[in-house]
Structure 1
Amino acid sequence: MASNKPAPEAPSRFNPGYGTEPGGDFTTEFTADFTGEFTTEFTGEFGNDFRADGNGEPERGWDEWNPTEESVRPVRGRHRVAKQRNGLARSSTVLGVGVIAAVGAGGMASAQSKPPVSISVPDSISDNLPDAKSLPGVGSLFSDESEPDKAEIAAASAPLTTAGLTTAEAEQGATDAGEALRARILQQAEQQQDAADAEAKAAQEKEAAEKAAAEAKKQQDEAEAKAAAEKKKAEEEAKKKAEAARLAKLAASYAIPTFSYTITSTYGQAGSMWSSGYHTGLDFAAPTGTPIKAVHGGTIKSAGLAGSYGYRTVLELEDGTEIWYCHQSSIGVSAGQKVTTGETIGRVGATGNVTGPHLHLEVHTADGTGIDPMAWLRGKGLNI
């Protein structure tokens, strides 16, 4: 079981008998002055006549020492500290270094939290500073031939707030990068607005131009259509006039086969009176003996009795067309005779298969095909 006997007390300078025993002690004396010099003195013999093997003085009894405010005197000025081998003396040095480190760390922390302090150099010092060119090894870095540009000096000496400023902005008096950026943004916005306005104006002008062009084209088309209609109308009128002139000319060269007549039967009229089942010519009913005329100049191809046609005269025109005059009471020409327009070639009669006196007129083309006599006569400018 562990003993509660107090541990032996180490020699202490606070013991009244400390340092008076024979043999002296080994002490380290230092003087803590401003220069930090230490003084070491050696007194007495090593060991203080104290031997651990028991060969020295008999072991003394140790009493428990409890330091109090009265028993502990403050250490001031020059004092002594017992040198020990356990590194207790060096601990004070470590403590001092820790205090210095703590103070330094505190200073750094406080320096980081405090606002920056401007440092200015007095004019008396700045005026006495040597020229940079006169310093050894520095003057060669400067060229006498080229001096620094004023703009470069101004840019180098400008505050950080002027970073990003252009030369034009600097010349206009801009000194703050934020204000310059704001001015650039406003200028860019104004330019974009101007571009948008110009684009809108161009679009309006384009739309107005297209509308005006469309209106002009519409008016032009209307004018052209009107002119074309008028031209067409004029052409039609001219054509009608030309046709009328042609018919008038033809009428002068063609004549109606008889006069004082009445149209009683037309071409293609159906009926049992005709052997073919339909009428093949045009009937001019007139009194017997009414003169029959040549419709156009030509040659008499035949003249004589022709069965159901009675007395018939065939007139051949220059283009080969044949005009048949039938049911005549008398014939006034003979075959091979030349006749002119309007010349009398016979008389109206009732010979052949008839119901009364009339002129049966037929028209045949050069190939012998029968056609409508009324249409052919009207085509020659004659009004039947």
Structure 2
Amino acid sequence: MASNRPAPQAPYVPNDDDFGGYDQESWEEWNPTEESVRPVRGRHRVHKKSGGGLARSSTVLGVGVIAAVGAGGIATAQGGKPPVSISIPDLPGVGAVADSLPDAKSLPGVGSLMSDDADSADTVTHAAAPLTAAGVSTDDAEQGTTDAGEALRSRIMRQAENQQDQADEAVRTAAEQAAVKKAADEAAAQQKAAEEKAEAKAAAKKKKEEEARKAKAEAERLAKLAKSYVIPTSSYTLTSHFGDSGSMWSSGHHTGLDFAAPTGTPLKAVHTGTVKEAGWAGSYGYRTVLELEDGTEIWYCHQSSLNVSAGQKVSTGDVIGRVGATGNVTGPHLHLEVHTPDGTGIDPLGWLQGKGLNP
């Protein structure tokens, strides 16, 4: 430890030859006291003697070096470095000077400096001794780790564990997110399937209601038509139908619908219309042709008598003639034919059923 205290001056005053011919009488004996060795703050004060002699502080420094060498040489530094030996040539009177110097520790203030330096050196030595504890943190010390390598290994292991925990947490989070997404997709699919099922059910219900509405409307229409259309006769039996084949018909098939009934059974107008023809028609016998408002023609054939004439207006249910067996027949019956406005013959049974009638 450095100090600013000036070194004590030796009580011995060498002769002029020993110190380069300086005037010995200019030197005075100096007795050090605590006041004279008190440390000086700031710059070192150097006292020079008049006449160009060496400064007292320089003289003291030289004497101090000689005293240190005489006391046993330069101290070796800690750390195992070999000591460096210094040889001092013998000078006349140096031995006497060294013997007359007081012990360094007995000087006022010097002993405490040497003690402080020693304590400091011991402190530094003790502080630097546990090299294996370098890098040991407070947490490591609390866990009982005092070795630097073990502490480093422990920190690496903890870091690896933390990284593994983070990786596991990332995997777990990804799995949870995937499960949530899957559940959401399944819920959406179920919701969509339920909506589609509900829509299909609603469509089926709507279709069924529409069909019921149409059926009801058709029934109402047929009921209304039934009021305006009637079956052409009564007490009858259907014997031959439209399209039946046989040699008795010149065309090879039957062209109408036969209502077998007793002769004289009344024949009624199936609907309001105008009598287009009324008279003899060859193989049809006595025939009445009733033209309806839409141009459809109804032929009443094989009558025994006629009750209307051509051009006459008739209403639904009016008697226009009577059942007979005139023309090409095998017995009394009404041969009924239906022709469209263009003259094509169609099935009378289907036409009557289309008007709400069921012969």
TM bucket normalised to smaller? 0.5 to 0.7
Query: SS of 1:265's equivalent?
Result: coil
| 1:105-184 equivalence runs, <5 A | 124=117, 161=135, 178-184=153-159
Q: Deviations over 1:246-303 (max 9, x none)?
A: 1101111111111111101000000111111110000001111111111111111111
Tell me the amino acid that sits aligned with residue 236 of structure 1.
E
Q: 1:204 to 1:351 in 2, by over 3 A?
A: same
Identity %, equivalent residues: 63
Question: Are positions 1:195 and 2:170 aligned together?
Answer: yes
**Equivalent residue number for residue 356 of structure 2:** 381
Partner of 2:125: none
Alignment match of 1:238 (pick from 197, 203, 213): 213
The answer on 1:367 being equivalent to 2:319 is no
TM-score scaled by structure 1?
Answer: 0.55
Q: TM-score, normalised by structure 2?
A: 0.58
- Structure 2 residue aligned with 1:264, among 222, 230, 239? 239
SS of 1:299's partner is: strand
Which amino acid is 1:188 matched to? Q
Question: What letter is aligned with 2:307?
Answer: G
Per the TM alignment, residue 339 of structure 1 is displaced from its structure 2 partner at its CA by 1.1
Q: CA deviation at 1:206?
A: 1.8
- CA distance in 2 between counterparts of 1:199 and 1:311 reads 98
Q: 1:72-98: CA deviations, max 9, x gaps?
A: xxxxxxxxxxxxxxxxxxxxxxxxxxx
Mapping of 1:182-331 within 5 angstroms?
A: 182-331=157-306
Q: Distance in 1 between matches of 2:211 and 2:271?
A: 29
1:155-197 CA-partner distances (Å, limit 9, x unpaired): xxxx9848xx9xxx99xx9995554443332222111111111
Q: What is residue 33 of structure 1 aligned with on the other side?
A: none
Q: Which amino acid aligns with 1:301?
A: K
The residue number in structure 2 matching 1:141 is none
SS at 2:350 equivalent: helix
Question: What are the ranges of 5 or more consecutive residues in structure 2 without an aligned counterpart?
Answer: 1-77, 82-114, 121-132
SS at 2:239 equivalent? strand
Give the residue type in structure 2 aligned to 1:187.
N
CA gap of 1:336–1:178, structure 2 versus 1, over 3 A, is: same
Aligned AA (2:320): I
SS in 1 for 2:263: coil
Amino acid at match of 2:221: R
How many residue pairs get aligned? The number is 231
Q: 1:179 to 1:272 in 2, by over 3 A?
A: same
SS of the equivalent of 1:301 reads: strand
Distance 2:156 2:309 in 1: 123
Q: Secondary structure at the match of 2:279?
A: strand
SS of equivalent to 1:347? strand
Q: Which SS does the other structure have where 2:258 is aligned?
A: strand
SS at match of 2:264: coil
CA distance in 2, matches of 1:227, 1:270: 50
Change (3 A) 1:355 1:123: farther
Deviation at 1:309, TM superposition (A): 0.2
Please state whether the residue corresponding to 1:227 is helix, strand or coil: helix
Cα separation, 2, equivalents of 1:283 and 1:377: 13
Aligned partner of 1:353 among 328, 350, 356: 328
1:4 equivalent in structure 2: none
1:57-81 Cα distance to aligned partner (Å, 9 max, x none)? xxxxxxxxxxxxxxxxxxxxxxxxx
User: Structure 1 residues 177-186 or 230-239, which shifts more?
Assistant: 177-186
- The whole-number CA distance in structure 2 between the counterparts of 1:118 and 1:183 is 39
Rounded to whole Å, the distance in 2 between the matches of 1:233 and 1:298 is 39
**Distance apart, 1:314 and its partner CA:** 0.6
